[in-house]
Amino acid sequence: MKMLVLAGGFGTRLNSIMSETPKALAPVDGIPFLYLQIKHWIAQGQTSFVFLLHHKADQIIEFLNGQKSGLLKECYVQWVVEPVPLDTGGAVAYAIQQLKLSDSFLLINADTWLGTGLRELSIAVAPAIAVTKVLDSSRYGRVQLKHQGVVNAFLEKSTIPISGFINAGLCHLNVNIFQNWDNKPFSLEKIIFPRLSESGTLTAVELDSTFIDIGIPEDYNWFCRMVEEGRIGNLCS
C-alpha cells in the first residue's frame, strides 16, 4: 500500500528558529527529521512512499535522491510537487490526479512523529483516522467518538486545557473521496473529515502511542533533546 506523505507546508511556526530549511528536514542532532521518520516507517514495514511537496521542494527532492542508494534502497519512492499551495486536501487530490491512483492509501504528516500505527491503519477499513489521547487537546481540537469507534464530530480548538482524543496525523483513505475535486485548494481537516463524520462513515483507530508534532519550537526542541540523549527508542512505541 502506498503511503502519501504531506511535506509541502511552509512551517511558519518554526520560522523563528529555522527559516532556510523545510520543516521536514529540520535537523535533529545533525540528522534530518525526515531521515528519522523514514527509518521509523520502514521499521514498521512501509516501503512505498509518495511525497507531496511544494515549499522548498528542491531541498527535499535532493535529500530523497541522496537516500536512494542508502536508506531508501529497497523502497519505491515518488514525489509530486504542487504548482501552487493546495492545502492538505488539494495536495492529496492533485497527487491522485497526477499519478492516477486507484487504490486506497495511507496518508501521514511529515512533521508528526507517531510511535506506532502504520500496520493498524493499513488493515483498518477506509476511511479511517488514527486518534490518540492527550492530556491537553486545546492546541489541536478534539475528535468526538461514539459507538464502535465511529467518529461523531470534530470539536474546535479551545483555550481551556482538556483531555481527549485528537487527530494523530495518520489516516487510511479511498481515492473516490477526491473524485469531484475542482482543482482548488481545500483542507482535509475542515472539509473532508467533517463531511465523513456527518455521514457516519469515518472510523477511528485508537493508538496508545508516542505523539509529537514538531511544528512548534517547544515540541521540536523536546524531540531534539530526546534524540540527543539517546532516548529515540522511547519514541518508537
User: Is the residue at 234 inside a domain?
Assistant: no
Structural domain contains residue 235: no
pTM of the prediction?
A: 0.95
Output the CA–CA distances (angstroms, integers) from residue 199 to 3, 19, 149, 224, in the order listed: 25, 41, 14, 41
- Beta strands 48-53 and 142-145: pairing type? unpaired
Amino acid at 173: L
Confidence of residue 130 (pLDDT cuts 50, 70, 90): very high
For the chain, what is the mean pLDDT? 93
Give me the number of domains the chain comprises. Answer: 1
Q: Is residue 236 part of a domain?
A: no
3-state SS class at 211: strand
The C-alpha cell of 227 is what? 534524540
Please report whether residue 216 resides in a domain. yes
**Which residues have C-beta within 8 Å of that of residue 154, sequence separation ≥ 6?**
141, 142, 143, 144, 167, 189, 193, 194, 197
Structural domain harbouring 161: 3-229
Show the 3-state SS of 49-100.
EEEEECCCHHHHHHHHHHCCCCCCCCCEEEEEECCCCCHHHHHHHHHHHHHC
Q: Assess whether pLDDT exceeds 80 at residue 88.
A: yes
Ramachandran area for residue 200 (φ above 0: left; ψ -120 to 50: alpha; else beta): left
| CATH at residue 15 | 3.90.550.10
Q: At CA 54, angle to CA 53 and CA 56, rounded to 5?
A: 105
pLDDT score for 140: 87
Q: Answer whether residue 76 shows pLDDT above 90.
A: yes
pLDDT at 139 over 90: no
Is residue 96's pLDDT more than 70?
A: yes
Domain membership flag for residue 237: no
C-alpha span between 32 and 59 (Å, rounded): 11
Confirm whether 203 is domain-assigned. yes
Here the cell at position 124 is: 483498518
Query: Dihedral through CA 11, CA 86, CA 109, CA 63, nearest 10?
Result: -70
Residue 125, in any domain of the structure: yes
Q: What's the confidence (pLDDT) of residue 183?
A: 96
Neighbour order of strands in the sheet with 105-109: 76-81, 48-53, 3-6, 105-109, 164-173, 128-134, 203-206
Query: Phi first, then psi: what are they for 128, rounded to 5°?
Result: -145, 145
Each residue's pLDDT tens digit, 191-206: 999 999 999 999 999 9
Q: What is the mean pLDDT of residues 110-128?
A: 96
Determine the residue type at 184.
Answer: K
- Grid cell for residue 166: 485528537
Q: Give yes or no for residue 16 having a pLDDT over 70.
A: no
- The span from the CA of 64 to the CA of 187, in Å, is 26
Q: What is the pLDDT of residue 21?
A: 87
> 87: Cβ–Cβ under 8 A, 6 or more apart, which residues?
185, 186, 187, 188
The predicted pLDDT at position 159 comes to 78
Q: Does residue 14 register a pLDDT over 80?
A: no
